[in-house]
Amino acid sequence: MIRLIDITRTFTMGEQTVLALNQINLQIASGEYLSIMGPSGSGKSTLLNIIGLLDQPDSGQYELDDKAVTDLTEIEQAQIRREKIGFVFQSFHLIPRLTAAENIELPLTLGGVPIDERKMRVQNALQAFELEQRANHRPAELSGGQRQRVAIARATIMQPSIILADEPTGNLDHQIGAEVMLLLENLQHQGTTLIIVTHDRELGSRANRQIAMRDGKILTDQTRDTP
């Protein structure tokens, strides 16, 4: 359960102050499938970053699972990111010197999970995302679709309750992109909250709930009756 109350975020660019988010109020229930759409600079990525605790609002209140998280310490926020939130990026953000398996293992390592359990969970994830053959390959040796599958495996290895995807298919061709979307939607069917930021209308329209943003404000917020 995500609840944003009067969230405002401004950036200073040179002498100009840009209002990236202007008093956003938003409530997202657990297990929802939500897309945030809008042109460049509409504030959709900033909104995603604030939901993901990567960025701090200038004012307003953010409650996650009925708990105010805005005022938590850096270490507590890092823990929430680790345990409750999985990020999927347009450019995958895999660490080039680590193998696919090591990239997937990274959140577990940061979380201090014992090594035996880590190996087991990574093995299961490799199986689930059909990456067993590629486990010991570095990202440079993987195709775009495989890279994004590694990234999704990494985002889900801690079994987070929320997946945040910023243009997850932006660097993939149409067919591979569709496959990746099916993977993400499959996670949502299993109960994970899925929030996708995109400027692709077709992609955004797959979500049950669609939010359109412009100039830091929510323009429309539509929910489809039937999934």
**112 near another protein (CB under 8 A):** yes
Q: Are 88 and 148 in contact (CB under 8 A)?
A: yes
**83 near another protein (CB under 8 A):** yes
One symbol per residue from 165 to 204: x for binding another protein (CB under 8 A), - otherwise; what is it? Answer: ----------------------------------------
| Two tokens, residue 40 | 């460049």
**98 near another protein (CB under 8 A):** yes
Give the Cα separation of 166 and 1 in Å (integer): 20
Size of the site for another protein (CB under 8 A): 27
Give the Cα separation of 102 and 217 in Å (integer): 40
Q: Where are the alpha helices (DSSP H) in 52-133?
A: 74-84, 100-110, 115-128
Beta-bridge partner residues of 212 = 37, 220
Which span sits near another protein by CB under 8 A: 33-41, 75-83, 200-208, 216-224? 75-83
| Two tokens, residue 135 | 């486990």
* Apex 33 CA angle, 80 and 63, nearest 5: 35
**82 near another protein (CB under 8 A):** yes
Which span sits near another protein by CB under 8 A: 58-66, 87-95, 178-186, 206-214? 87-95
Q: Which residues bind another protein (CB under 8 A)?
A: 49, 52, 54-55, 74-75, 78-79, 81-83, 87, 89, 91, 93, 95, 97-98, 106-107, 109-112, 154-155, 158
